[in-house]
Structure 1
Amino acid sequence: MKGSAVFLALIDRITEGVGAVIRWLTLFMVLLTFAIVVLRYGFNIGWIAMQESVLYLHGLVFMLGAAYTLKADGHVRVDIFYQNYSAKQKALVNLVGTLVLLLPVVIFVFVASYDYVLTSWRIAEKSSEAGGLPFVYLSKTYLWLFAITLGLQGIAECLRNINILLASDDDRGEQGENQREEEATL
C-alpha cells in the first residue's frame, strides 16, 4: 500500500501543478481576448495569429483542465442516490465508473487520435489562414495530453477508491482527516 500512496501523491501533485498552470493560462487567455477586442474594434487592427492563439489556449485549458476537474470532483454528476451513499458505496460507484466509463474512453481517445496527431506532426501542419500560426500539430497534440493526464488522474482515483474500500472504518476516518488537512494546505 505504501507504494500506491507514493504513486497516488505523485499523480496528485502533477495534476495540481497542471491545475495551477491552467489557472494562469485562463487569465492570460481572457486578457488576450480583451486585447483582441480592443485592437479590433477600437483601432481596426486584427492579427489572425493572435486570434488563433486564443483558440490554442482555449483548447489547452479545457483539455488539460479535465484531469484537474476530476481530482477536484468538479465534474457534473447526477447524484440523486449518490449523495446519500456511505463513503464505501461512493468509492465503489466511483471505482466502477472510472473502470467502465472513464478509462476506456481515455484509451479510445488516445488510440483513435494516434495517427491523426502523428500525421499532423509528420507534415508539420500549419494554419490554413494567411498569417495564422505555423504549428497546428501542437494543438492536435492536446488530444494526447488530455488522454494521458485524465488517464493518470483516473488511475489515481481508482487507487484512492480501492484504499477507501479496503480501509476499516477507523482507518477511513483517519484517512479522511489526513486528506482534509492536506487539501487545506493546498
Structure 2
Amino acid sequence: MITILSKIQTELKAPKGQFNKFGGYSYRSCEDITEAVKPLLEKYEAALTISDEIVQTANRIYVKATATLRTKSGEISATAYAREAETKKGMDEAQITGSASSYARKYALNGLFAIDDEKDADATNTHEKEPQGQNASKQTQSAPREPLSLEQINDLSHLIEITNTDTRQFLAAFKTSDIKNVPFDKAKALLMKKLDKMNGVQNAS
C-alpha cells in the first residue's frame, strides 16, 4: 500500500489551473488534483474517495474532509478541516458550506499526495531586499501602503475564519487595528502556513 502511494506521490503532476487575480498567483483546486491523479489510479489499480462530515466544536461548524486511497493491499486516508464562515459576501448558506468543503477536500488531497501549496501564497511576495541602516528604516516607515481592496479583505477574512485565527492578535502582529492596512502577501502567506499545519495525514491499517 505504502509503495503504491509513494509511486503516485512521485509521479503526480497536478497543474495549477486556477488564477487568483487579486493575489496575482496561480493555484490548484480540488478538481485539478483529482483530474491529474485519475490516470495514476488506473495505472496502479487504486481507487480514490473523498467524503465530508460536519463537525461541531463549541459553537462553530467545521467541514471535515477525508480523502482515502484504496488498493488491493489496504487503504490510507488523510483528513483536513475547514471552518465555515458565519457570513460571506455574495454567498448563501449552501455556498458557504460548499466553499468550506472545497478548502477541506483540497487540503486532504494535499496531505494524502504530499502536495505542498505553501509556495502558492509565498509566490506573491516580491522578496525585495529591505534597505539597511537607520535612514533606510525611516524611508520604509514613511512609505505609504495602498489599502487592500474589498476582494483582498474578503480573501483574508475567509482564511482567518477557517483557521480560527484571533483577529486582534493577527492585526497586532502587523501593528494595525484595521485589516485593510495589513500587507496582503505576507498576511496571506502566514494564514496559508497555519492552514497547512492544521491538516494532517491519518494512516488506516
Higher helix share: 1
TM over 0.5: no
Larger Rg: 1
Higher strand share: 2
TM-score (norm 2): 0.27
TM-score (norm 1): 0.29
